[in-house]
Structure 1
C-alpha cells in the first residue's frame, strides 16, 4: 500500500491510498480540493465552505525523543510549556524536524494530520486529541497534503486511529496563562 516517494528511501501513503484505506475499514469521508494552505490563518476562507470542526495539528517531541501528534480545534490556544505535564512527556516539548515528520508521518510541514499515522508502522507516535475538537460530530484534516481537506465523523476518526494501532488519548490541553 505504499505509493509516493518521500524523503530518501521513505515511502509514504498517497491521499488516494488513504481514501481507499478509509473505505476498506468502513469510514465515510468527504474531501474538498483547494489551494495549498500552510497555517490555520491561511485556511480561514476555505473553511467557511466546509462543515464541521477544523483542526490544527502539531508534531512534537520531548527531550527523550518520544513523538507526539496533537490535534486540536483550529483556534484552541495551547500552552506548549505546560503540555508535557498533561500528555506524559519527559520535559518540555519542541517541534519535530521536517525529516522526522516525513519519516514517521509521511508528510511535509504544512500537511501535518492524524491521517499521517497510517505511515507510522512502528507505532512511535503518540496521538493526543483535544477534547474541544472531539465535541464536534464532524472533524476536518488535511489528507496527507495541504491542497485538500477531508471531513469525517469523530467516531470515524477514532476508528481510523485504532485500525492503525494508535489508541488516541482525548484530553483537555493546557491553555496559555491569561494576560
Structure 2
C-alpha cells in the first residue's frame, strides 16, 4: 500500500474523515488533488498551480523522528529549511535523533511515508508524539499540507491550523532558526 487516498480506508483516520471534521468545525480550506507527492521536489512541481500570487505561503516539509529513549517527534519546517539532525536534537534538548520507521509512523501518527503532515497529530496527540513547528509559520498567511494522504494537499489559513491544534489538544512547540 502506498500513501495515496486509494488506501485511506486502511488508516486509523481517513483523509475523507479528517476533511469532514474540518468542515464540521467550520474551518475553511481549499482541497487540491494531484499525483502522489513523496518529496519536497515532487511538491514543488505542483505548487505553482496552488499558491495564490502575492500570498505569504508556508510550504512544509515534515520529519517524523525518534530519540535514543524511543520518544517520538513530529517536526514541521519551512520547505527549504536546511536541517542538521544533531543540531536539531540539541535544540530540542534530546539526543541522537533519527528517522522513525514506516511501522512506527503508522503506529504513532496513523500515516504512511510520503504523507507526513502536521494534521497527523489527530493520531499523534493520543500517542504522546511531541509536535514542533518552524516559527517562520508566524509570518505566513496560509499553510499547505497533506490531509493524511499524499495525493491531496489542503491550503488553510495559519490561524485555522491553530484552531485544529486547539481542538485536538496538541501542545505546539515552536523552533527558532
TM over 0.5: yes
CA contact (8 A) 1:110 1:146 kept: yes
1:61 is the counterpart of 2:66:
yes
Q: Taking structure 1 as the reference length, what is the TM-score of the superposition?
A: 0.86
CA distance in 1: counterparts of 2:133 and 2:16, whole angstroms: 24
Shift of 1:53: 2.1
1:161 is the counterpart of 2:151:
no
Q: Counterpart in 1 of 2:147? A: 143
Partner SS, residue 73 of structure 2? strand
The CA deviation string for residues 123-176 of structure 1, in whole angstroms up to 9 with x for no partner, is 411110001233211001011111011111111111112211111111214xxx
Unaligned runs of 5+ in 1: 7-11, 174-179
The CA deviation string for residues 60-115 of structure 1, in whole angstroms up to 9 with x for no partner, is 011111111011111111121111121232x1200011011111111110110011
Give the aligned length: 165
Q: Counterpart in 1 of 2:75? A: 70
Counterparts of 1:1-179 in structure 2, within 5 Å, are 4-6=9-11, 12-51=12-51, 52-89=57-94, 91-120=95-124, 122-173=126-177
Unaligned runs of 5+ in 2: 1-7, 52-56
CA contact (8 A) 1:111 1:145 kept: yes
CA contact (8 A) 2:125 2:170 kept: no
CA contact (8 A) 1:67 1:124 kept: yes
Q: CA RMSD in A?
A: 1.5
Give the structure with the larger helix fraction.
Answer: 2
Partner SS, residue 126 of structure 2? coil
CA distance in 2: counterparts of 1:165 and 1:68, whole angstroms: 16
